[in-house]
Amino acid sequence: MELNNSKIKIKAKNLNVFYGKKQALFDINLDINQKEVTALIGPSGCGKSTFIRCINRMNDVIDICKVEGSVEIDGAEINEKNVDVVTLREKVGMVFQKPNPFPKSIYDNIAYGPIIHGAAENKNQMDNIVETSLKKAALWDEVKDRLNEPGTSLSGGQQQRLCIARALSVNPEVILMDEPCSALDPIATAKIEELIDDLKKSYTIVIVTHSMAQAVRVSQKTGFFHLGKIIEVDSTEKIFKNPANKMTQDYITGRFG
């Protein structure tokens, strides 16, 4: 089932997640390859978002959420008590469904992470980080003359790229994207997808999406979730051309979900 030529970056083993008494994920086993885009598809409420929130332990913020099982990044377990979530989240960045720039200037939005981690020693270095992050997110040319304007003044697509730049600013290795284009129009979506394609050269990307077309366009590997279980994982080509599971076929052809 695995693509053999790639190195595994993230490995989830027997992962179970509970929200209070309700179980959201059942025995998830999933390998995510390095420097590749892995798309997670499935109907709403199937646990895709819950799964990627396990990779940077974002579920910790939710009181009633309990995670059991193992997630390894580069062979190191992240669900141990002594793992520092700050370092983990520095390594595993996240982009959310709705663009959520801080109510600060564009510059401060990017500088936020580096300041917290003490990444820059002086203003020059910080300027550099901001510029490279915005360039990587393909936003630099559009905002370079108005870095002091509030991040919220940008358009939806620009805001989302700002959030991607913010995630890139702390030099992560993995970027989690939770339906990053669901609030955007097709043109902005195309830009983000182009960007994802570019970013996969240097980052491992996991993207949750409701759009089959998007999964086909951007990902190399696709996992299909249904009711908290993983039904099928394979190369994107295989999943969309010749799925092994009947349910996967029904879902991608739009017969349910």
Partner 1 sequence: MNSLIAGVILILCLSSYFFGRSEARKLVTQNIKLKALPAYYGYYLSLWCGLPALIIFGCWSLFEPTIIKVLILNNFPQIESKDLFYEQTLSFFNGNFSGEITNEIKAASIKYSSINIIAQNSKIVIIAAALIGSLTFAYRKIQKNNKARDDVEIILKVLLFTSSLVAILTTVGIIVSLLFESLKFFSTINIFEFIFGTSWSPQRAFVRDASAITPEELLELQDAFGSVPLFAGTAFIALIAMCVAVPIGLFSGIYLAEYASTKVRKYSKPIIEILAGIPTVVYGFFAALTVGPFFRTLGESLGLTVSSESALAAGLIMGVMIIPYISSLSDDVINSVPQSLREGSYAVGATKSETIKKVVIPAALPGIIGSILLAVSRAIGETMIVVMAAGLAANLTINPLESTTTITTQIVMILVGDQEFDSPKTQAAFALGLTLFIATLILNYIALRVVKKYREKYD
List interacting residues with partner 1 (CB under 8 A). 56, 58, 61, 63, 85-90, 93-94, 96, 98, 100-104, 112-113, 116-117, 150, 152, 163, 166-167, 169-170
As measured in angstroms, the least distance from the Cβ of 123 to partner 1 is 18
CB nearer partner 1, residue 61 or residue 187: 61
Q: Are 32 and 10 in contact (CB under 8 A)?
A: yes
As measured in angstroms, the least distance from the Cβ of 238 to partner 1 is 32
As measured in angstroms, the least distance from the Cβ of 49 to partner 1 is 11
CB nearer partner 1, residue 167 or residue 239: 167
Q: Which residue has the tokens 């991608």?
A: 252
CB nearer partner 1, residue 34 or residue 100: 100
CB nearer partner 1, residue 172 or residue 223: 172
H/E stretch holding 143 reads helix 140-143
Sheet with 204-208: strands ordered across: 92-95, 174-178, 204-208, 37-41, 221-226, 229-235
As measured in angstroms, the least distance from the Cβ of 228 to partner 1 is 22
As measured in angstroms, the least distance from the Cβ of 38 to partner 1 is 18
Q: Which residues of 172-197 are buried (b: 16+ CB within 10 A; e: fewer)?
A: bbbbbbbbbbebbeeebbebbbebbe
Residue 45 backbone zone (phi > 0: left; psi -120 to 50: alpha; other: beta): left
Measuring CA to CA, which residue among 126, 123, 143 is closest to residue 134? 143
Q: How far apart are CA 61 and CA 203, in angstroms?
A: 25
3-state secondary structure of 201: coil
CB nearer partner 1, residue 6 or residue 171: 171
CB nearer partner 1, residue 167 or residue 252: 167
- Determine how β-strand 174-178 pairs with β-strand 204-208: parallel
Measuring CA to CA, which residue among 231, 230, 233, 191 is closest to residue 214? 191
As measured in angstroms, the least distance from the Cβ of 63 to partner 1 is 7
C-alpha gyration radius of the chain:
18
CB nearer partner 1, residue 21 or residue 254: 21
- Determine how β-strand 37-41 pairs with β-strand 22-33: unpaired
Q: Are 248 and 66 in contact (CB under 8 A)?
A: no
As measured in angstroms, the least distance from the Cβ of 34 to partner 1 is 20
